[in-house]
Copies of this chain bind each other. A is one copy, B any other.
Amino acid sequence: MAYLERTSETMGHGVVAARSVREIADTPQARTQRHGQHHVVFYEGDAAERIYELQDGIVMLYKLLPDGRRQVVEILTRGMIFGTAGGPRYDVSAETLTPVRLAVHERREVDASAVLQSHVAKCLMAQMEGLHEHAMLLGRKSAMERVASYFMRMVPNRGGEGCAGPVSEACDPHDLVLNMTRQEIADYLGLTIETVSRVISELKRRGVIRLERQDRIHVTRVCGLCQLTGIH
């Protein structure tokens, strides 16, 4: 557990003390990997020999159809796990969206360690809820609801059910950074790039958001955005 658990010094936002360690040591336990943006950690179909915990940064998991259609199935943030597999091969590809720091465990290590498995179970239980939510989004929400939900994901204390008060403190503006291209967003939301763009423009038009830059969004009215997610 010690190695999967985030140590207090790393809890802060990407502080990183000088320790220019690429691999802390050859601990039989976890080792740490670092990767830059747009690095593919593994491909769908690769032998599933390692399990990863994301210590810092963002990773996306996606699947491809032979004709090139892509679906981003999960977006992972700090503390989440990936690389788990039911069979001998990965069912998705994993690609970094930002520079990342990963804790890496050999599959057999995990198979042999009750502590690790316990941790994996806990993480997967939580992550599964995200997948359920995403299935609802993909199967039943309109383009506007999908984009609004996507933005709300990135607002801390996002109005999950208990967003109640429409004019309360939750209504103050909020800034967020996308870390994804329009194409990646589209592939995550099950839309085309054009539709994503159009919906964003519509949100600007309605005064709900403002674009500081392509990938930096100022949410003028968080509650207004939340109202558009379909969960109210």
Contacts and interface: CB of A to CB of B under 8 A. Distances in A.
Interface stretch (A31-39, A95-103, A112-120, A215-223): A112-120
Contact of A132 (B67, B74, B120, B141): B74
5 contacts: A66-B231, A74-B132, A87-B129, A117-B122, A140-B190
A204 interface: no
Contacts of A70: 140
A124 interface: yes
B138 A190 contact: yes
Contacts of A131: 73, 128, 131-132, 135
A63 B140 CA distance: 10
What are the nearest 9 A-B pairs in CB distance?
Answer: A139-B190, A86-B126, A138-B138, A121-B121, A114-B114, A84-B125, A124-B124, A73-B135, A71-B139
A74 B129 CA distance: 11
A166 to B, nearest CB: 14
A129 B231 contact: no
A171 interface: no
Contacts of A26: none
B121 A117 contact: yes
Interface residues of A, number: 44
A114 to B, nearest CB: 4
Interface string A127-153: 111011111101111000000000000
A61 interface: yes
A198 interface: no
B86 A125 contact: yes
Interface string A175-196: 0000000000001011000000
B118 A63 contact: no
Contacts of A132: 61, 63, 73-74, 91-92, 131
A22 interface: no
Contacts of A187: 139
A155 interface: no
B138 A231 contact: no
A96 to B, nearest CB: 18
A231 B65 contact: yes
